[in-house]
């Protein structure tokens, strides 16, 4: 297939049969392969293909935003950025991404490992399931991918080449610039919120100068801060888990951006799950232990990320930034250690700001999250959402005031109990 064509079951079987590595993996005759479309995301087609021997997942980009329709065109090349990011992430965080078997740039199609019995982390959070490996694995993914794709680890030339490779992913960045950082704070035709219960919050956010300025400072950072290769959409729907394994999927929004955007996405989505528990528990307080598990995981994600990132930095032979040749004396080494602390504190504040912005967009913008959407009673949902908005605003405007993630947990508890 040379010219792009969106596939359906029969066309897909024929296309996959022509790819030796996939044909052999699936086994048997292509006419016997069982194919079903399972995509429930906002953008793409996703198929599970089961053969006699094994199964694969096929992800194909559509030339438009699936959630909205053909009126919103979107470049197929996002598939190339996803493939490039998956390849690079796998080098730095082996075992934490799906294995890629085949990529077809013209068809915007990636054939990859079918992860089972994994579930989307977000669905597990809705059901109240604990995943013991989650925080450690995600902290490892974040530290390894963010540190090793930054100029702290490599040469300036390598960093610039990476910036150049991912810079054309502008359409996907524009989605984030509009949907995360802009539309929730203004009247925009695609905005949605739980009406009429959140009308007052929506209006208040549109008039909140301090919040809008803080959100725009984050947007500027998102647009210009070329720190590392970021996943770009690392919410809990982009993480697949079992009790023993964690994988990060779907990096089509990848580009060289601010590290805190990825760390903040994970923490912001955990906080959304925390506030959504009130909509899922059978009786008030029935999910209190699970609420605490979520907050504990958010704290662990940050602390383990922090420690791993620091360890990588201390051990690295050094990139072109902070060359080791400048820091030979004991005084130099002490100054460098202080500088690492300053860097990580700034990253912590970015993380909180981005976490808050990601929470707000999922409640007042176009694309919502199942954690909250699955709460059928709109009044009950709005109560959860209003609490999430309250903490999110604090994170965006007041990141500097939080001493650590435990402090954020305390603020979340206070909001949850109606004491803030």
Residues engaged in binding ligand SR1 (CB under 6 A):
41-43, 65, 67, 175-176, 179, 233, 367
Give the residue with the Cβ less far from ligand SR1, 269 or 409.
269
User: Of 129-137, 245-253, 325-333, 348-356, which part binds Mg ion (CB under 5 A)?
Assistant: 245-253
Contacts of 281 (CB under 8 A, 6+ apart): 287
Q: Smallest gap, in angstroms, from Cβ of residue 42 to ligand SR1?
A: 4
Which of 41, 258 has the CB closer to Mg ion?
A: 41
Bridge partners for 58 per DSSP:
47, 111
Sign of the torsion angle spanned by Cα atoms 146, 117, 44, 6: positive
Strand segments (E) across 121-203:
none
Neighbouring CB atoms inside 10 A of 170's CB total 12
What is the DSSP secondary structure assignment for residue 237, as one 8-state letter? G
Query: How near is the Cβ of 62 to Mg ion at its closest, in Å?
Result: 13
Q: For residues 54 and 178, which CB has a smaller minimum distance to ligand SR1 in the complex?
A: 178
Closest contact distance (angstroms) between CB of 234 and ligand SR1 is 10
108: closest CA among 129, 80, 128? 80
Rounded-to-integer distance, Cα 350 and Cα 258, Å: 8
Q: Which is nearer to ligand SR1, 233 or 416 (CB)?
A: 233
Residue choice 250, 262, 297, 385 for contact with Mg ion (CB under 5 A): 250
- Using the minimum distance from each CB to ligand SR1, give the nearer residue, 177 or 206: 177
Q: Give the nearest distance from C-beta 269 to ligand SR1 in angstroms.
A: 10
Least distance to Mg ion from the beta carbon of 319, Å?
A: 30
In angstroms, give the least distance from the CB of 139 to ligand SR1.
22
82 binding Mg ion? (CB under 5 A)? no
Q: Where are the beta strands (DSSP E) in 231-313?
A: 239-241, 246-248, 255-257
CA 173 to chain centre: 13
**Which C-beta is closer to ligand SR1: that of 233 or that of 262?**
233
- Number of neighbouring beta carbons within 10 Å of residue 348: 23
Cα 84 to its chain centre, rounded Å, is 17
The backbone torsions φ and ψ at residue 35, rounded to the nearest 5 degrees and listed phi first, read -125, 130
Q: Is residue 68 within 8 Å of residue 190, measured between CB atoms? A: yes
- Provide the minimum distance between the beta carbon of 192 and ligand SR1 in the complex, in angstroms, as a whole number: 12
- What part of residues 15-54 is at the interface with Mg ion (CB under 5 A)? 41
Which C-beta is closer to ligand SR1: that of 78 or that of 118?
Answer: 78
Binding partner selected for residue 115 from Mg ion, ligand SR1, none, CB under the kind-specific 5 to 8 Å limit: none
Point out which residues bind Mg ion (CB under 5 A). 41, 250
């Amino acid at each position: 297939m040379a010219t792009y064509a969106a596939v359906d079951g029969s066309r897909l079987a024929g296309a996959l049969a022509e790819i030796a590595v996939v044909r052999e993996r699936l086994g048997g005759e292509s006419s016997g392969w069982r194919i079903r479309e399972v995509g429930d995301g906002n953008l793409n087609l996703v198929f599970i293909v089961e053969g006699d021997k094994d199964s694969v997942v096929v992800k194909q980009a559509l030339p438009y935003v699936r959630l909205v329709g053909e009126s919103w065109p979107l470049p197929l090349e996002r598939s190339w950025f996803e493939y490039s990011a998956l390849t690079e992430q796998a080098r730095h965080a082996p075992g934490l991404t799906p294995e890629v078997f085949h990529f077809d740039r013209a068809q915007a199609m990636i054939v990859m490992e079918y992860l089972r019995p994994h579930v989307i982390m977000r669905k597990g959070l809705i059901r109240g399931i604990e995943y013991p490996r989650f925080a450690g694995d995600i902290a490892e993914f974040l530290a390894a991918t963010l540190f090793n794709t930054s100029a702290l680890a490599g040469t300036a030339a390598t960093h610039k080449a990476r910036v150049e490779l991912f810079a054309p992913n502008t359409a996907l960045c524009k989605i984030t610039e509009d949907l995360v950082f802009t539309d929730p704070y203004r009247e925009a035709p695609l905005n949605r919120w739980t009406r009429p219960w959140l009308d007052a919050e929506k209006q208040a956010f549109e008039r909140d100068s301090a919040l809008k300025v803080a959100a725009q400072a984050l947007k500027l950072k998102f647009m210009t801060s070329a720190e590392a290769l970021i996943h770009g959409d690392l919410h809990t729907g982009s993480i697949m888990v079992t009790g023993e394994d964690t994988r990060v999927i779907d990096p089509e929004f990848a580009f060289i951006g601010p590290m805190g955007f990825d760390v903040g996405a994970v923490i912001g989505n955990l906080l959304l799950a925390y506030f959504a528990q009130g909509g899922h528990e059978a009786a008030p307080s029935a999910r209190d232990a699970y609420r605490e598990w979520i907050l504990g995981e958010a704290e662990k994600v940050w602390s383990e990320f922090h420690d791993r990132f620091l360890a990588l930095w201390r051990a690295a032979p050094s990139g072109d930034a902070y060359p080791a040749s400048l820091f030979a004396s004991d005084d130099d080494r002490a100054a460098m250690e202080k500088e690492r602390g300053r860097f990580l504190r700034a990253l912590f504040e970015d993380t909180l700001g981005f976490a808050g912005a990601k929470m707000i967009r999922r409640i007042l913008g176009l694309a919502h999250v199942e954690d909250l959407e699955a709460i059928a009673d709109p009044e009950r949902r709005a109560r959860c959402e209003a609490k999430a908005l309250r903490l999110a605003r604090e994170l965006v405007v007041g990141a500097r005031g939080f001493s650590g993630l435990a402090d954020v947990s305390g603020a979340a508890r206070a909001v949850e109990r109606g004491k803030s």
